[in-house]
């Protein structure tokens, strides 16, 4: 399966459907409308979280996040008011060692289970 950015494709298909681009023939419009409908009706997926460099942005204070530390160590940490990273379990401070972070994924739920 090949994932595409449907949000980028939709304006192009609408352009064809609305006849704004004279390059396309009238026969293409029916096909473009079918494609547009298929794209708009297709299910969406949630994008995978990505690493955010600490130099770019930091999480909210006290928010648990996955952290990439130097030496390829990955930990779940929080940021305190002083800008220091720590773990709740043993209050281990990791100041200066965290290089990137990402939000935690949603917790697993059984099918039919409500949040």
- Same domain assignment for residues 57 and 82: yes
31: left (phi over 0), alpha (psi -120 to 50) or beta: alpha
Does residue 77 lie in a domain region? Answer: yes
What is the pTM (predicted TM-score) of this model? 0.54
Q: Which domain holds residue 89?
A: 52-103
- Whether the CA torsion 78, 83, 84, 85 is positive or negative: it is positive
Cβ proximity of 76 and 89 under 8 Å: no
Quote the number of domains for the chain: 2
- Tens digits of residue pLDDT in 67-91: 998 878 888 899 888 888 888 756 6
Structure tokens that stand for 108 in this block = 């697993």
Q: Which of 88, 38, 95, 29 is nearest to 63 (CA)?
A: 88
Domain membership flag for residue 15:
yes
pLDDT classification of 112: cutoffs 50, 70, 90: confident
Answer left, alpha or beta for residue 25, where phi above 0 means left and psi between -120 and 50 means alpha: beta
Q: Are residues 67 and 96 in the same domain?
A: yes
Each residue's pLDDT tens digit, 6-34: 777 777 777 766 655 555 556 666 777 77
């Amino acid at each position: 399966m090949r994932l595409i950015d449907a949000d980028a494709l939709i304006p192009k298909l609408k352009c064809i459907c609305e006849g704004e681009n004279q390059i396309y023939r009238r026969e293409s419009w029916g096909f473009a409308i079918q494609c547009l409908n298929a794209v708009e009706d297709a299910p969406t997926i949630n994008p995978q979280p990505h690493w955010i460099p600490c130099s770019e942005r930091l999480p909210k204070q006290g928010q648990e996040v996955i952290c990439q530390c130097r030496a390829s160590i990955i930990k779940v940490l929080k940021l305190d008011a002083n800008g220091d990273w720590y773990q709740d379990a043993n209050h281990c401070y990791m100041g200066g060692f965290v290089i990137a972070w990402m939000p935690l994924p949603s917790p697993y739920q059984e099918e039919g289970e409500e949040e």
